[in-house]
Structure 1
């Protein structure tokens, strides 16, 4: 090992130790390359583990890794259980280095949106962390799904919203420009912002901002079968009709009513879709009829609960070996 490699390794372990001290001091459950807005005891996975007492007979560390930091972090393993989680599309070229690190040295458990790569892997998409508390029971999920499935369509006086920070693949620009031919699209985020009320009126509360609008543009950052983030669920939770792109235009087909979602075909002729949206905008009764559809399928709660059960069973197995 030459001097340059030695310095690189020293800097890596020094930074890793610094992160450990800052975010993970004295904790059994530790997080690396995760969100830095939460402390370890506040994390969704910590609460899930503690609620199910998955660490009650497990004395070693439980280390979680993600992609919100250097890919180099994924190349090293700590003592104890090592778990990888990402809500991102790991097949996207932006995450090549992270994916290769996972494939070269698989984790004890890998959690993501697809559930068929990186060795020991289960499907647990990011949107679950946004929509449900980690302590949720089946009844909790059933009640919330029922409440979200049929939202009031009344008193929606504004046309369409968009909240985004970027548009690296051009899909948001394409949809926004097309819908602007019908009426004003209010963009409250950093990308093409034309209103600041998300921050000045709603204190950066996306849910309260979206509640004013009939439609919401909510595409993914990239397209892959099964890759669905929180965006479409935030749209539904706010009572908007989603204008969606991603997941090969089949967002959670076992959970969501596809007839209650408008899917945009990137780079293709969307004239028919635009005509339907225009008709709903011009005719309040048609809009209410469409917006009043059940958003979730009848067995949605069972499917969602199965994700909770699978995660618990897999982690219980790993912590009792």
Structure 2
């Protein structure tokens, strides 16, 4: 029986990348990120070159995509940043928009390979390896909501903080996955709250058998089973959510009920986040080869980028010469 991937006979696709393309995907090179290594390589023959038909870029780097006028630009990001439609022909972001130019692929989806990833639901295994109440592993001290939540929960029951922020275990945790798997709960707060913006912070504890205490994407239950995690957005206050956490902590039957729940509602990934849906979006882009940004606009953007680079170099040289003259005196 032919599969979804067989229908396209693995057509050859010419691709390129602007660094940095996707931050935080196991610290890999862009061409080894999830879209390429896992998703696209199973449906297309990928020809990576310096003069591609399609170029991936993101919110990092130095905007080198503007220097490329012949390639079709595909914007992708794991951050809570929308595409600039004056520059992007197509985009994949957290926004819940599904059309011929944009598809939503939240960052948590990069950590979950449908049919390959294992989600821990064996309560006896989970119970046997849990050795701490809750963990908090973060290094960004600007996300004040999750720090406030940690302080409130820690004041009521000890939370092991293994990151840079509020560290109380004598150093940074070396094996994050094992630390999460050994915790009954995980404080899984995003950097900020925005509908659709959800990252690895929720999927990692879910797969490890830890109950996420989640805050960030207020629409997260459209993606994941609400009976498998504590959604802080459902409670009138942080204190009310903490009351629920402590209630579960004191009742093994409640704890077990959470662990045994499937990852998705009805044990089925949402259609729009399936491999088929995401690959179909790419197939439409690759087969049509139709840019959405006009050639003239791209030439104007390249010209503007070149002028800015030239001005920057002049300023740098001016500063260098000034310093050299100062030392010369």
Give, in whole Å, the separation in 1 of the partners of 2:59 and 2:225: 31
Give, in whole Å, the separation in 2 of the partners of 1:149 and 1:208: 13
Q: What residue ranges of structure 2 are gaps of 5+ in the alignment? A: 1-13, 289-329
2:84 pairs with 1:113: no
Q: Which has the larger radius of gyration?
A: 2
Q: 1:194 aligns with which of 156, 160, 168?
A: 168
Give, in whole Å, the separation in 1 of the partners of 2:224 and 2:137: 22
1:256 is displaced (CA, Å) by: 1.6
TM-score normalised over the length of structure 2: 0.70
Q: 2:121 aligns with which of 150, 175, 199?
A: 150
1:19 alignment counterpart: none
Q: Is the 8 A contact 2:149 2:238 kept in 1?
A: no
Q: Deviations over 1:219-254 (max 9, x none)?
A: 111111111111101111111111111112x31x23
Where do residues 1-321 of structure 1 align in structure 2 (5 Å cutoff)? 28-35=15-22, 37-47=27-37, 48-53=39-44, 55=46, 60-70=52-62, 72-73=63-64, 75-90=66-81, 99=83, 102-105=84-87, 107-116=88-97, 120-132=101-113, 141-142=114-115, 144=117, 147-148=118-119, 150-152=121-123, 153-155=126-128, 156-196=130-170, 199=173, 204-248=174-218, 250-251=219-220, 253-265=221-233, 269-301=237-269, 303=271, 306=274, 308-321=275-288
Give, in whole Å, the separation in 1 of the partners of 2:107 and 2:210: 20
1:6 alignment counterpart: none
Q: Is the 8 A contact 2:18 2:64 kept in 1?
A: no
TM-score normalised over the length of structure 1: 0.72
**Aligned positions, number:** 266
Q: What residue ranges of structure 1 are gaps of 5+ in the alignment? A: 1-26, 92-98, 133-140
Give, in whole Å, the separation in 1 of the partners of 2:109 and 2:151: 31
